[in-house]
Structure 1
Amino acid sequence: MTILKMRISRALCAGVAMLASAGANAQISSLGATGWAATGTNNLGGTGTTGGHGATAAKTYTVSTRAGLIQALYGNTATIKTDGTFSGTLDNSKKIIYISGTISLSQNAAGTELTANNYVTYANAASSTCAGYGYTTFTQIWNAYLAAYKPPYANVPPSSDPVEAARACASNQMKKTVVLNVPSNTSIIGNGATAKIIHGTLMLNGASSSAPVDNIVIRNVAFEDAFDFFTAWDPTDSGGRWNSNYDTVSIQHATHVWIDHCTFSDGARTDDQFPSVWAAPYDGELYHVQHHDGLLDITKSANLVTVSYNHLHDHDKAMLMGGTDSASLTAENPGVLKTTFHHNYFQNLVQRKPRVRYGMVHFYNNYFSGSNTATLYNWMVGLTSGQGSKLYVENNVFAISGGASASDTIGASVSSGSALTNCAALSGMSTARCKPYIFDSGNLLNGASVNLSATANGANSLVNVTSTPWSSAANPAATPSATPASYYSYAVEATTNLATTVPAAAGVGKL
């Protein structure tokens, strides 16, 4: 396979323009983070999240292609192969990357949009083992997969099975192409109202919890349709579900992150276009072929994150906070996942708005809109209080049609078994610190007051209701005694006009 070594030394090469100054882009700053993202000391020694603020002219880019975006992230040192896979060393110095127009992450080096068949072909060309399975097209793999694993087949498809191995080969090839890692001290800022990244994932993920990426700002960019061609059937997941790989943005081992004025959705490839392929009783909506994962997932040791003024819409599993109930000092635990959500517009989402485990999470002045009777992306539940979550929820508005009740605003999924005892046994933890807590005030459902604390506790009595649900900085292992105001300043607006002001201000093109 030939290799294109893409070195950028002149403006506009490979879609990158290195600017002498931010110029016309200066109106959108890397500064201004609020909430958790404004706290703590970043890797540069400054306070809070500043991204690439102060980047030199040589590290200020405008990109309009996938190749240009890759080179900006890698400091113009990336090697991009003909098939679109790439390698190099990420650039951790301060940089600002302005996005111009639409960039697809599912392309080869020539900028050609890749199909499922392309990934099968490239996987076979890259590996004699993959080629040896004998599948040369996506249709061949798909038809054999459906025949092999259709219900009542009840086990996870074994990796030793040639058809599953062939699917995994193509899936791995796709992953190496569509997932772009974002290094520390980076600002990614959209130009105008048309900046968009589609068909892949921006991954904010360091090597480990002790070596996270840090200090990242993403503002004014639309993210759409992180579409997984090679989704996998798991009959053991909730009675049978299709699981896909890609979030539009994934925050894992990352600290000091500000996501602001972005838009997230499935784009044109909505879920209703991919109905179930199985016979009854596996033919309903729950069994549709799911090609999308999350919109904005915050997992592992992600910490000191603020999500503000974003528009998330038309999607199933919107946001996962904490990927497992099993606490670990190197991943999910009560000391991380500290996140602030404010002035976000959650519209036509099914679930996970978000689903929270462990983190001390603050929600204020968000607007949630949906319908229990929608034919596409019907409302299932709003927030979910998960294992060890510590929620502070104030002055949010829920507008849910179709006979909504308090149970539509929040659910609970908590256990008192091994997940709790194992968490409490970790260094620096305790039973008190590992339990879930909630406080809410001033929230509305369809214009009337709604008590989310009582609703969560009613769904699961293990969710503790208290006015101080956050652990204190001085004694985090003690019974929680703190609130968001213990850690940062903020101003809560009345709910009166949120149904108008939040949609008007949230999302791309609103800065």
Structure 2
Amino acid sequence: MNAYKWHGHAMKRAAVLAGCVSLVLGVTAAGTAQAGPARDLARQVLPAGDGWASEGAGTTGGSAADAAHVHTVTTWAEFKAALADGGTGPRIIKVKGMLDAVSEGCDALAAEGYDFQQYLADYDPAVWGHDTPVSGEQEDLRAASAANQDRMIKASVPADTTIVGVGRNSGIRGGSLQIRGVDNVIVRNLTIEAPLDCFPQWDPTDDNRTGAWNSEYDGVVVYGSTHVWIDHNTLTDGRYPDSSLPEYFGKVYQQHDGLLDVVRGANHVTVSWNSFEDHDKTMLIGNSDGAGSTDAGKLKVTLHHNRFEGIVERAPRVRFGQVDSYNNHFVVTAGQKFGYVFGIGASSQLHATHNAFSLAPGVSTGKVLKKWSEAPLTAAHNYVNGKLTDLIAVHNAEIPGETLQSGAGWTPTLRTRVDHPRAVPGIVDHRAGAGRIC
């Protein structure tokens, strides 16, 4: 690996400190390091060469905002007002403390007449069956209630915006950041607790006509947007892990969707130094096999130095995109539900190298990869429990019905450095997540 600098165990401390170098030195508008004291976190930009979001003009967010367009917010209402204020110019929004998007609770969002117990009675499979989708008064009222929540918790992020948490304990509970159809956005240093869908829909025809509860709302959605930097955040189910959710009709009352989705022609995104924790469907890159007219040639995403623990699947699942995943640490603990890490989807070109996997005893290495469609990938120099492992070869040996082909057909160039995978757990575990920008 001559193109990049490697750091061995003897350099572990230096490598950890290197994770902060661009913040300690500061960065210019062009993304290059400069000497002197660290700049205001809200004024920092993505360094040059740091993943797909550094392509072209790079990602500067709201770093050029004038004083009139720098907001400090302490409530969800203030946050949404700050996003809407100031026309089309750059803006900085500093989030101070935890903003609760559903502070009044789910009951406050329910449409008049909606009764969950009546909903259960009306659509019990013993009454409704599994042949047709639900309909009728209670379903209409559930949909109206869901629309109330949609309006409350979604926050549209405009172009040329930086959103940054103040200190170690700031973030958003139950809100959904919608980065839709815009360019040049930075989101950093936030703890984001995944939205809890107050009104999931029962679909009796789902899951081979055994039924399933389907939920809406992702923590962060990058939809048709370009040049987006998601950095040093913690994204988690937080107070409401799936293990706490009840069951109805023999199925988990699923109230979570994704943590971070990149979809609908979004492009040039860097996801770095985040902690993804305790979630099922974590990250979707490309949302439909049939979206080739929108997604082909786009969905270029870099994932580096992120930590994933307690994740069931989609870390990420990829369609169409040229996704570069390197120096991430994936942790699968004993007893947790686990499906896969990388999902290989339609026309994807995943390049996954120099990652570290810490798998509990009994967890199959072959399940790290999951084949959904025929699409070659590159998966080299990955270490499982400290040992160099050919993920494709192990997968093909353990799961012969899902044979994967090697060779994504491209080589990433937008990388600032690559750490040795054996050093990655120590580096990433100390630096990834909110409150850990030095």
- TM-based fold match above 0.5: yes
> 1:95 aligned to 88, 91, 96, which one?
91
Are 1:317 and 2:281 an aligned pair?
yes
Q: Tell me if the contact between 1:149 and 1:157 (Cα under 8 Å) persists in the aligned partners.
A: no
Matched letter for residue 38 of structure 1:
S
Q: What residue in structure 1 maps to residue 360 of structure 2?
A: 401
Are 1:154 and 2:138 an aligned pair?
no
Q: What residue in structure 1 maps to residue 40 of structure 2?
A: 26
Residues 491 and 157 of structure 1: CA distance in aligned 2, closer, same or farther (over 3 Å): same
Q: What residue in structure 1 maps to residue 343 of structure 2?
A: 384
Are 1:231 and 2:231 an aligned pair?
no
Q: What residue in structure 2 maps to residue 367 of structure 1?
A: 329
Q: Tell me if the contact between 1:343 and 1:366 (Cα under 8 Å) persists in the aligned partners.
A: yes
**Which runs of 5 or more structure 1 residues have no equivalent in the other structure?**
1-22, 41-46, 77-90, 107-112, 125-134, 207-212, 415-434, 470-479
- Higher mean C-alpha displacement, 397-406 vs 220-229: 397-406
Residues 94 and 156 of structure 1: CA distance in aligned 2, closer, same or farther (over 3 Å): farther
Between the aligned partners of 1:439 and 1:502, the Cα distance in structure 2 is 22
1:491-510 matches, within 5 Å, as: 491-510=417-436
In the TM superposition, what whole-angstrom CA distance separates every residue of 1:92-144 from its partner, at most 9, and x where no partner exists?
311111110011122xxxxxx22222112xx44xxxxxxxxxx2x5xx2x112
In the TM superposition, what whole-angstrom CA distance separates every residue of 1:153-174 from its partner, at most 9, and x where no partner exists?
2145344x11111100100111
Matched letter for residue 32 of structure 1:
L
Q: What residue in structure 1 maps to residue 108 of structure 2?
A: 118
> 2:412 aligned to 447, 469, 484, which one?
484
In the TM superposition, what whole-angstrom CA distance separates every residue of 1:396-453 from its partner, at most 9, and x where no partner exists?
0111113122222111101xxxxxxxxxxxxxxxxxxxx6220111101122222223
Deviation at 1:354, TM superposition (A): 1.0
Are 1:441 and 2:380 an aligned pair?
yes
1:216-255 matches, within 5 Å, as: 216-239=185-208, 240-255=211-226
1:188-199 matches, within 5 Å, as: 188-199=163-174
Matched letter for residue 464 of structure 1:
Q
Matched letter for residue 394 of structure 1:
T
Q: Tell me if the contact between 2:123 and 2:134 (Cα under 8 Å) persists in the aligned partners.
A: no
In the TM superposition, what whole-angstrom CA distance separates every residue of 1:3-44 from its partner, at most 9, and x where no partner exists?
xxxxxxxxxxxxxxxxxxxx998145431241000002xxxx
Deviation at 1:242, TM superposition (A): 1.4
Are 1:336 and 2:298 an aligned pair?
yes
Between the aligned partners of 1:235 and 1:145, the Cα distance in structure 2 is 13
Matched letter for residue 118 of structure 1:
A
Q: Tell me if the contact between 1:190 and 1:219 (Cα under 8 Å) persists in the aligned partners.
A: yes
Q: What residue in structure 2 maps to residue 326 of structure 1?
A: 290
Segments ≥4 residues shifted beyond 4 Å: 455-463
Deviation at 1:462, TM superposition (A): 7.0
In the TM superposition, what whole-angstrom CA distance separates every residue of 1:287-317 from its partner, at most 9, and x where no partner exists?
2111111111111111100100000001111
Residues 166 and 155 of structure 1: CA distance in aligned 2, closer, same or farther (over 3 Å): farther
Between the aligned partners of 2:184 and 2:254, the Cα distance in structure 1 is 33
**Which runs of 5 or more structure 2 residues have no equivalent in the other structure?**
1-36
1:344-359 matches, within 5 Å, as: 344-359=306-321
Matched letter for residue 154 of structure 1:
H
Residues 118 and 27 of structure 1: CA distance in aligned 2, closer, same or farther (over 3 Å): closer
Matched letter for residue 92 of structure 1:
T
Between the aligned partners of 1:370 and 1:502, the Cα distance in structure 2 is 15
> 1:464 aligned to 405, 413, 424, which one?
405
> 1:260 aligned to 216, 219, 231, which one?
231
Between the aligned partners of 1:319 and 1:276, the Cα distance in structure 2 is 24
Between the aligned partners of 1:71 and 1:28, the Cα distance in structure 2 is 18
Q: What residue in structure 2 maps to residue 214 of structure 1?
A: 183
Matched letter for residue 52 of structure 1:
G
SS of equivalent to 1:408? helix
Residues 456 and 92 of structure 1: CA distance in aligned 2, closer, same or farther (over 3 Å): farther
Between the aligned partners of 2:241 and 2:274, the Cα distance in structure 1 is 20
Matched letter for residue 264 of structure 1:
L
Between the aligned partners of 1:358 and 1:298, the Cα distance in structure 2 is 12
Q: Tell me if the contact between 1:178 and 1:199 (Cα under 8 Å) persists in the aligned partners.
A: yes
Residues 305 and 24 of structure 1: CA distance in aligned 2, closer, same or farther (over 3 Å): closer
1:135-214 matches, within 5 Å, as: 135=113, 137=114, 140=115, 142-151=116-125, 153-155=129-131, 157-159=133-135, 161-206=136-181, 213-214=182-183
SS of equivalent to 2:139? helix
Between the aligned partners of 1:156 and 1:345, the Cα distance in structure 2 is 41
Between the aligned partners of 2:125 and 2:297, the Cα distance in structure 1 is 42
Matched letter for residue 73 of structure 2:
V
Matched letter for residue 120 of structure 2:
L
Matched letter for residue 165 of structure 1:
D
Are 1:54 and 2:64 an aligned pair?
yes
Deviation at 1:175, TM superposition (A): 0.4
Residues 340 and 156 of structure 1: CA distance in aligned 2, closer, same or farther (over 3 Å): farther
Q: TM-score, normalised by structure 1?
A: 0.73
Matched letter for residue 418 of structure 2:
V
In the TM superposition, what whole-angstrom CA distance separates every residue of 1:52-72 from its partner, at most 9, and x where no partner exists?
111101111111111211121
Matched letter for residue 104 of structure 2:
L
Between the aligned partners of 2:393 and 2:38, the Cα distance in structure 1 is 50
SS of equivalent to 1:238? helix
SS of equivalent to 2:117? helix
Matched letter for residue 304 of structure 2:
H
Deviation at 1:228, TM superposition (A): 0.6
Residues 465 and 457 of structure 1: CA distance in aligned 2, closer, same or farther (over 3 Å): farther
Between the aligned partners of 2:323 and 2:205, the Cα distance in structure 1 is 31
Residues 24 and 360 of structure 1: CA distance in aligned 2, closer, same or farther (over 3 Å): closer
Matched letter for residue 332 of structure 2:
G
Q: Tell me if the contact between 1:457 and 1:465 (Cα under 8 Å) persists in the aligned partners.
A: no
SS of equivalent to 1:465? coil
Identity %: 35
How large is the Cα RMSD of the aligned pairs?
2.0
SS of equivalent to 2:289? coil
